[in-house]
Amino acid sequence: MTLDLSRFQAKGIETCFHGRHVGAQIYAGLDGRNWRYADYVARGGYTALRKILGLDGGPGMTPEQVIAEVKASALRGRGGAGFPTGLKWSFMPRNFPGAKYLVCNSDEGEPGTCKDRDILAYNPHIVIEGMAIAAYAMGIRTGYNYIHGEIFEIYERFEQALDEARAAGMLGERIGGSEFSFQLHAFHGFGAYICGEETALLESLEGKKGQPRFKPPFPASFGLYGKPTTINNTETFAAVPWIINHGGQAYLECGKPNNGGTKIFSVVGDVNQPGNFEIPLGTPFAKLLELAGGVKGGALKAVIPGGSSAPVLPAKVMMDLTMDYDAIAKAGSMLGSGAVIVMNDTRCMVKSLLRLSYFYQHESCGQCTPCREGTGWLWRVIHRIEHGQGRPDDLALLDSVAANIKGRTICALGDAAAMPVEGMLKHFRDEFAHHVEHKTCAVPQYV
Ligand SMILES: Cc1cc2nc3c(=O)[nH]c(=O)nc-3n(C[C@H](O)[C@H](O)[C@H](O)COP(=O)(O)O)c2cc1C
Ligand code: SF4
């Protein structure tokens, strides 16, 4: 039976062909049509894989040399937590006797984020090559790419790219005639946000309900089917061929210390030209805003700099920030998935938070009490504040519920639900207090 998933398909415009990238590596040279194997090879694709395997007469690279290069690059995971990729790869037990797995996280459910979708649609071979290099470095023979269920056409495109890579001998048994074999498969989820959490993803990949596992044990020792597994984000794998071709040091120098390379930001919300922008880490936020055509419909009020889980930051903080993991963390938020949600001064923060909190209470998998009960509790309190029924102690109640979710749950979805509440109350408490006291909004257009 053919499964008709057409009603789940995204119908957005292509978001990465505007040419306003700075030093692009992953999106460089894409036009929407040149996604095929031959196009990728014409752009220099698969040279990194050929280089490590010594297919073009070079000495090749040992797995240890590949990992050392990725470590030197200061590549940090692009899925949200920013964990150093080379270090993660070094956790994989090299001499484990049984099966080991490599998994690409293309679930991309974080509100505002749409960068991985464009990588897979318009440059799928860069992910295949990155995964093959990772597999070689960690001695893995089997991999899966877990693709978000609501972008089914991307899943189909990736399947086509896999067929092409297999036909060209860049995937499968004895790649390019070398001793290295790697089988890669595509898998599609069904659109649950929680399946982006790595252990929920593994459960889902095993055919079970997508609910996070307790950690430890971590996937490096107990992952897919209980075997050692390394999971990285789509953009993380896509960064690897450039690192191998140009060297870890060159990649590091594209960004700033501890924040190597370029990063793709999905700039959404109140901007004139939303889209995906690939820029060096450490680029000023003001420059990114300019690339996105500036603020639309009013003055800049606030920005959520790293996907909806990241605490909001006011305009004056953002305008002095550079876009990198360390600078944003120092300012009290996080770079997360790289979705930059821009809000102008006609936005009511209570209403915005109501929408965010609805999302988290809806997406909680329900396994742990603080998240299951707390996310709904947050939403109900914000709902009554927004609708003129706020109580005098509601802001303190929000503080308390958020604080009691954080750090008390199996996975980080609990924190992801609490942090937007904390950020809004930290920077825009007056707006919430106004709603409670006056039963109406402080933003003129909503009064
Ligand atoms: C609720 C939740 C949702 C997540 N969603 C994603 C996602 O859609 N894509 C992703 O790559 N990582 C997501 N993550 C992070 C993954 O658990 C994991 O850290 C990441 O895939 C590791 O890859 P990286 O090291 O390359 O960033 C999510 C985490 C949580 C807690
Ligand atoms: S924190 Fe929430 S989403 Fe994560 S396991 Fe617990 S109930 Fe599920």
Residue of the CA atom closest to atom 30 of ligand 1: 197
Give me the pLDDT at residue 444, please: 76
Q: Determine whether the shortest distance from the Cβ of 416 to ligand 2 is under 6 A.
A: no
Dist. CA 234 → ligand 2 center (Å) = 23
Dist. CA 215 → ligand 1 center (Å) = 14
Average pLDDT of span 393-420: 97
- Secondary structure of the chain in the HEC alphabet? CCCCCHHHCCCCCCCCCCCCCCCCCCCCCCCCCCCCHHHHHHCCCCHHHHHHHCCCCCCCCCHHHHHHHHHHHCCECCCCCCCEHHHHHHHCCCCCCCCCEEEEEECCCCCCCCHHHHHHHHCHHHHHHHHHHHHHHHCCCEEEEEECCCCHHHHHHHHHHHHHHHHCCCCECCHHHCCCCEEEEEEECCCCHHHHCHHHHHHHHCCCCCCCCCCCCCCCCCCHHHCCEEEEEHHHHHHHHHHHHHCHHHHHHHCECCECCEEEEEEEECECCCEEEEEECCEEHHHHHHHCCCECCCCEEEEEECECCCCCEEHHHHCCCEECHHHHHHCCCCCCCCEEEEEECCCCHHHHHHHHHHHHHHHCCCCCHHHHHHHHHHHHHHHHHHCCCCCCCHHHHHHHHHHHHCCCCCCCHHHHHHHHHHHHHHHHHHHHHHHHHHCCCCCHHHC
pLDDT tens readout for residues 323-373: 999 999 999 999 999 999 999 999 999 999 999 999 999 999 999 999 999
Average pLDDT of span 144-168: 95
Dist. CA 143 → ligand 2 center (Å) = 26
Q: Determine whether the shortest distance from the Cβ of 371 to ligand 2 is under 6 A.
A: yes
Average model confidence (pLDDT) for the chain?
A: 95
Average pLDDT of span 198-222: 97
Residue of the CA atom closest to atom 8 of ligand 2: 365
Residue of the CA atom closest to atom 1 of ligand 1: 413
pLDDT tens readout for residues 65-113: 999 999 999 999 999 999 999 999 999 998 888 999 999 999 999 999 9
pLDDT tens readout for residues 220-235: 999 999 999 999 999 9
Percent of the chain with pLDDT over 70: 96
Of 3-12, 106-115, 292-301, least confident by mean pLDDT is 3-12
Give me the pLDDT at residue 196, please: 97
Residues with a CB atom less than 6 Å from ligand 1: 77-81, 83, 88, 105, 107-110, 194, 196-198, 231-233, 236, 411-413, 416
Q: Pick the ligand that lies closest to the CA of residue 369.
A: 2
Of 6-20, 40-54, 192-206, 211-225, least confident by mean pLDDT is 6-20
Which ligand 2 atom lies nearest to the CA of residue 409?
1
Evaluate if residue 6 carries a pLDDT over 60.
no
Dist. CA 164 → ligand 2 center (Å) = 39
Which ligand 2 atom lies nearest to the CA of residue 414?
1
Q: Determine whether the shortest distance from the Cβ of 418 to ligand 2 is under 6 A.
A: no
pLDDT tens readout for residues 122-154: 999 999 999 999 999 999 999 999 999 888 999
Which ligand 1 atom lies nearest to the CA of residue 107?
8
Which ligand 2 atom lies nearest to the CA of residue 212?
5
Q: Determine whether the shortest distance from the Cβ of 414 to ligand 2 is under 6 A.
A: yes
Dist. CA 425 → ligand 1 center (Å) = 26
Give me the pLDDT at residue 191, please: 86
Give me the pLDDT at residue 11, please: 52
Query: Nearest Cα to 126, choosing from 31, 19, 45, 217?
Result: 45
Give me the pLDDT at residue 15, please: 86
User: Tokens for 106?
Assistant: 């293309």
User: Tokens for 56?
Assistant: 């073009």
pLDDT tens readout for residues 222-279: 999 999 999 999 999 999 999 999 999 999 999 999 999 999 999 999 999 999 999 9
Residues with Cβ within 8 Å of 212's Cβ and at least 6 positions away in sequence, in order, are 194, 197, 199, 200, 203, 365, 367, 410, 411, 413
Give me the pLDDT at residue 8, please: 47
CB 344 within 8 A of CB 270: yes
Give this prediction's pTM.
Answer: 0.95
What is the spatial distance between Cα 304 and Cα 313, in angstroms, rounded to a whole number? 6
pLDDT tens readout for residues 371-387: 999 999 999 999 999 99
The residue to mutate among 76, 102, 105, having the most atoms of ligand 1 within 8 angstroms of its beta carbon, is 105
